[in-house]
Structure 1
Amino acid sequence: MARSRENRKIKQHIMEEWTGKVFTSLCIVLLVVTIFSLVYFVATKGFSSFIKDGISIGEIFGGTQWKPEGEPPFYGALPFIIGSFSTSIMAAIIAAPLSICAALFMVEIMPKIGRKYLQPAIELLAGIPSVVYGFVGLSVIVPFYRDIFPGQGLGIAAGATVLSIMILPTMTSIATDALAALPPGLKEGSYALGATRWQTLARIVIPTTLPSLMTGVVLGMARAFGEALAVQMVIGNAPHIPRSLFESASTLTSAITLSMGNTVMGSPQNNVLWTLALILMLMTFVFVFIVRCLERRANR
């Protein structure tokens, strides 16, 4: 009896193990097929503008005029590319110091107050819909810039300000985890040598965790680069290269969301919009590659 029960338990254990392996394998296969199908679909649609419609790469990446319904049509996407990079880089420049300082406050300076009050407040920002950020930016930030600087207040500055608030929770969470994972022996050794708290933070803590901190910055930029609705509401959506931060501009996501529903599938304009989507996807891969490189550097 005892041996039969043991055999039954062993068979049940083997069956559960194989069931788990089959289930996880199917999930992995489904995930890989989905990712490759998505990449293949966007790539085939994106390359159609070059292969099928005969539009040159230089015209799309170097052209400054966006007139798809003109005679002749122009498909210059350079203003959108510059707008996307400008808003995401400026948003990262604004949010990076704030997120690092908030993480230092929560982990190193006043962890009890920071973890109890500041961290829940920052995490609350991550759950706010992007349309709310866009509406607040349109109601508060745009009039603020309009009263202080020349112009209508719409532009890269307003879009970058909204994006910096949106990516702040992501960057702060990653910076907090990086600082919390730092071995305490490094700080204790610095204090034992007579260094002050600020000297320890500036010369030991931040340089040691810099790759992980930069990972948070890159991930924040990746989210800012792909954001559509919030930026679309405050940037002005003008298809030209702005001469200042307070002139109306446009981004890749804004051009796609505003024009995709008004085009015919397979038309040259529709194919060019898919090319813009392909650029967004390739930039996502670049951001992921940069994050992987930073993670390898942090693990050394």
Structure 2
Amino acid sequence: MEKNRLSEFLIEKSLVITAIFSIIIILLIVLFILMEGFPAFEDYGFFRFLFGMNWAPSDGEFGVFAMIIGSIYVTLLSLIMAVPLSLLCAIFMAEVAPNSIRRILKPVIETLSGIPSVVYGFFGLIVLVPIIRTNFGGTGFSMFTAALILTVMVLPTIITISQDSLRAVPHEYREASFGLGATNWQTIRHVIFPAALPGIITSIILGMGRAIGETLAAIMIAGNVVQIPGSIFDPVRTLTANIALEMGYATGLHYNALFGTAIVLFLIIIILLLIANYIQHKYKVDVGGGYL
């Protein structure tokens, strides 16, 4: 008995120490980014940095607004394409598909998440860019091309978590709906989907984080032009691509400005997470005094 208590005590304390250590690492990373990026805000001005339209380090111009818009546009466009496809696939796998098909589809979809970003980027460079160039004009390096690749990259995340959320809905909900005479589709639409909505929103949040944080694929096929795109077929440069492209040779204020770019990206992600958490909390389903 004493041995079991000692084991539980050691496990509990180990978990606490691990959690505290993880928090400390995150705080140290955030502190390092803030310390390196703050000189850019101090010397150049935060609002001038945030809303400036020109990024020309050789001329002392460090405006990131066009890259903020580019990052948001690429992310939103990819989510517009990925979310409907992902939810339909998740509903099919969780509620419609027989077990034989589900056992095949699930590992295939999960395999997509293990493919390296450079492979996706290379596929876009060799296959998608020429197709876009031939059919829509321009160079083929565009916001639309990058969004197509990001759509494929975020599909596994949204599908897998959404499917798990749908299957986690208590079976009693289905039985009660069928008992009232509802069809399978009516049950999915009016009972199961609303009950699984918090988990589905979480999957979209994670997919959004994957899209906005993607670097290599965006570098290879987005065009890397610092501008606010006039159409989806114009080239753009994302915040992550800007950091990766220029960090290798940046010095002085230019170096600090790249860390300032990371701070801006960090703030954007925090704002998006706060919005998503608010929506998630708003649509939680009250079940027996608790939340589902």
Whether TM exceeds 0.5 here: the answer is yes
Identity of aligned residues (%): 36
Question: Equivalents in 2 of 1:60, 1:99: separation in Å?
Answer: 37
Question: Equivalents in 2 of 1:25, 1:185: separation in Å?
Answer: 36
Q: Which residue of 1 aligns with 2:52?
A: 63
Judged with a 3 Å threshold, the aligned counterparts in structure 2 of structure 1 residues 36 and 110 are, in CA distance, closer, same or farther, namely same
Question: Equivalents in 2 of 1:23, 1:184: separation in Å?
Answer: 36
Q: Which residue of 2 aligns with 1:41?
A: 32
Deviation at 1:93, TM superposition (A): 1.0
Asked whether 1:32 is paired with 2:23, we answer yes
CA contact (8 A) 1:107 1:114 kept: no
Deviations 1:204-242 (A, max 9, x none): 222332232122112100111111001111101011112
1:279 corresponds to which of 255, 258, 264: 264
Letter of the 1:202 counterpart: R
Deviation at 1:192, TM superposition (A): 2.8
CA contact (8 A) 2:87 2:159 kept: yes
Q: Which residue of 2 aligns with 1:4?
A: none
1:19 corresponds to which of 7, 10, 21: 10
Question: Equivalents in 2 of 1:285, 1:186: separation in Å?
Answer: 35
For these two proteins, the number of residue pairs brought into alignment is 285
2:195 corresponds to which of 199, 203, 208: 208
TM-score, normalised via structure 1 length: 0.88
CA RMSD across the alignment: 1.9
Q: Which residue of 2 aligns with 1:149?
A: 136
1:238 corresponds to which of 210, 216, 225: 225
Deviations 1:241-283 (A, max 9, x none): 121111111000000000111112xx11111110111122223
Q: Which residue of 2 aligns with 1:5?
A: none
Deviation at 1:169, TM superposition (A): 0.6
Q: Which residue of 2 aligns with 1:83?
A: 70
Unpaired runs of 5+ in structure 1? 1-8
CA contact (8 A) 2:78 2:147 kept: yes
Judged with a 3 Å threshold, the aligned counterparts in structure 2 of structure 1 residues 185 and 44 are, in CA distance, closer, same or farther, namely same
Letter of the 1:289 counterpart: L
Judged with a 3 Å threshold, the aligned counterparts in structure 2 of structure 1 residues 35 and 144 are, in CA distance, closer, same or farther, namely same
Q: Which residue of 2 aligns with 1:110?
A: 97
Judged with a 3 Å threshold, the aligned counterparts in structure 2 of structure 1 residues 295 and 240 are, in CA distance, closer, same or farther, namely closer
CA contact (8 A) 1:215 1:294 kept: no
| Residue aligned with 2:139, SS | coil
Judged with a 3 Å threshold, the aligned counterparts in structure 2 of structure 1 residues 13 and 183 are, in CA distance, closer, same or farther, namely closer
CA contact (8 A) 2:129 2:140 kept: yes
Q: Which residue of 2 aligns with 1:97?
A: 84
My pick for the range that moved more, 105-114 or 173-182, is 105-114
Question: Equivalents in 2 of 1:252, 1:295: separation in Å?
Answer: 27
Question: Equivalents in 2 of 1:105, 1:263: separation in Å?
Answer: 49
Question: Equivalents in 2 of 1:281, 1:111: separation in Å?
Answer: 42
Letter of the 2:209 counterpart: A
Deviation at 1:158, TM superposition (A): 0.6
Q: Which residue of 1 aligns with 2:123?
A: 136
Judged with a 3 Å threshold, the aligned counterparts in structure 2 of structure 1 residues 16 and 108 are, in CA distance, closer, same or farther, namely closer
Question: Equivalents in 1 of 2:87, 2:186: separation in Å?
Answer: 16
